[in-house]
Amino acid sequence: MGDTLSQNPMPFDRILVVDDEETIREIVSSMLTGAQFRTRQAASGVEALALLDSGEEFDLVLSDLLMPEMHGLDLLERAKERFPDVPVVMVTAVNDIQAALQALRNGAYDYLLKPFEREQLLATVRRALENRRLKRENDAYRTNLEAKVAERTQQWKAALSDLERSYDITLEALGDALDLKDAETEGHSRRVTAFTIAIAQQMGLPKDDIRVIARGAFLHDIGKMAIPDKILTKPDKLTPDEVDIMREHAWSGYKILKNIPFLNEAAEIVYSHQEKYDGTGYPRRLKGEEIPLGARIFSIADTLDAMTSDRPYRPKQSDEAARKEIAFWSGRQFDPSIVEVFLSMPINIWEDLRKETNQKGRFPRA
């Protein structure tokens, strides 16, 4: 094995010259060394692979095409598998031009036809090395860019998390304000939101959709802020006129929320939370899938919480009684497909959610 190294101590590009004819190896190496390249010689493809595998770094392989032991195309294939970023230039005779073209298709950077001039050799080598340098710079830039994108993504996620927490604090403040005005249903919004989230998750809805639905569920009664206290807290049965005023809370809640950007979609659920599947609800008498999906899910969760909570006019009932009532009204008050999902859920989940909600005492997160 021959070895020709430039005496200049600077780290010039290293080129592996592969040819089974020693004379050609020496001539090519001499041309390259004169141009301040460092060269290493291999007498066969097998020897070239051994040098590549030894850990010695090369910036380019210049290989003959026709060699004993291992054909130049075989060397090309194995070199590109193991060292894909090292360009390979094939050297061949004029009558092997088809093989040279095949080498290009297999990943060779270029080919040289024997006999070639020194300047032709140096121009091809320099182009190949420049191409490698540009690819490496591009890879480094892409890696750096990906790292920056990952860093910015983390920053964005942290900011989004802070923003969502701010949203939740806003929701909690609105919920607390409503609890102060309507103490009878204190905790109802948190529980019904937790129930709504559980049903939506069981349905396999996307997390972003569940987040919107949860906000609508939590704020479903926010319109009661506009209802006079004498009606909202009246211990006796409401008159027909008072019932009409009370029913305005869905529209009032919608008006309160619709112009708040992060609550715009939730406002539609608030507007529709008193609609019934058969079209007998209010305020718009929507029917079936005209009712937003979140409102259809909420109506089941709302009935579950209302029936299993103590009220001045009646004691709370069991979860099983609530399940039977919801099943009975399937297709009339409730969407039957959602009722089916609700009934498929383990009954103990609702008590677990009540305990969890009471402990946290905050807006439930999807």
Q: Catalogue the active-site residues.
A: 224
Give the phi and the psi of residue 292 in degrees, each rounded to 5.
-55, 145
Q: What is the DSSP letter of 238?
A: P
Query: How many whole angstroms separate alpha carbon 163 and alpha carbon 169?
Result: 10
Is 318 in contact with 348 (CB distance < 8 Å)?
no
Give the integer Cα–Cα distance in Å for 338 and 342.
Answer: 6
| Closest of 111, 25, 101, 19 to residue 68, by C-alpha | 19
User: Within the chain, what is the greatest distance between any pair of CA atoms?
Assistant: 113
Q: What distance lies between CA 289 and its chain's CA centroid?
A: 30
- Cα separation, 294 vs 129, in Å, equals 61
CA distance 189 to 176: 10
Alpha helices, DSSP H, located in 182-288? 188-202, 207-218, 229-232, 240-247, 249-257, 264-272
